[in-house]
Each structure stands twice: as structure tokens, then as C-alpha cells.
Copies of this chain bind each other. A is one copy, B any other.
Amino acid sequence: MPELTIGELAERSGVPASTLRYYERHGLLHSRRTTGNQRRYAEAMLRQVAFIRASQRVGIPLAEIGEVLEFLPDGGAPTPQFWARAAQCWGRAIDERIAALQRRREVFSACASCGCLTFGECALVA
């Protein structure tokens, strides 16, 4: 199994190398180092980067993604079971955001027709 340099991982994942280094600084990725201090990745890391990007896509902050990644067996790719459990979490997170937005929409509709904009009375400005 050939290892990937950071440039190769960047190209194959579409994620800039600067971003991969950023993720590593923040504990979302880990890498083996060569004797010359350069990063080397197993191909499985590609899946882990995919997991991070997919999670970001649905609006999960990096810190939270990092917490979930702590449950990954060291150096292993995300397993189907791992993905299934994470997907359940992320799904609930999206649903909550949709619900919050819809509640806000209702408040706004009521206030839009009232138009008072009075501090201390209007739900939109208080």
C-alpha cells in the first residue's frame, strides 16, 4: 500500500494542502512523518477527509467533527458503522436547524404584518 504525500492527498480529495495542515493542527487528521519531517498518509485517510468534508457540508462545525473522530480506531478509515452513527447525529442536527428556521419564520410573519418594531414589545427586536 503506497503512501500519499500531502500534495497527492490534496489533489485526490480536492482539499487544499493548506487546509489539510490546518485540520491537522486542529486535531482532525494525523500523519506519519518521514525522516525529513514530511507528512505521509495511508490511502484510508482519503475516506477520513471525505468524512470531514461531508460533515462540513451539512453545517457541522469542525470542533464537533473532531469530537466524533475521536471515536475512530487510531489510523483507521471510518467504518460503515461509524458513518451510520455519525449520519444519525448529523441528520438530527439538520432537522433542528430547519425547525429553528421555521419557528423564526413564523415569528417574522407575525411581526411583518404588525410592523411595530417597538423595543420591549416586539418579538423581533426585544
Contacts and interface: CB of A to CB of B under 8 A. Distances in A.
Interface of A: 12-14, 46-47, 50-51, 53-54, 57-59, 78, 80, 83-84, 87-88, 90-91, 94-95, 97-98, 101-102, 104-105, 108-109, 111-112, 115, 117-119, 122, 124-126
A47 B117 contact: yes
Contact of A53 (B12, B97, B125): B125
A83 B94 CA distance: 31
B108 A98 contact: no
B108 A91 contact: yes
Contacts of A13: 119
Given A94-B104, A108-B90, A109-B91, A83 B117 contact: yes
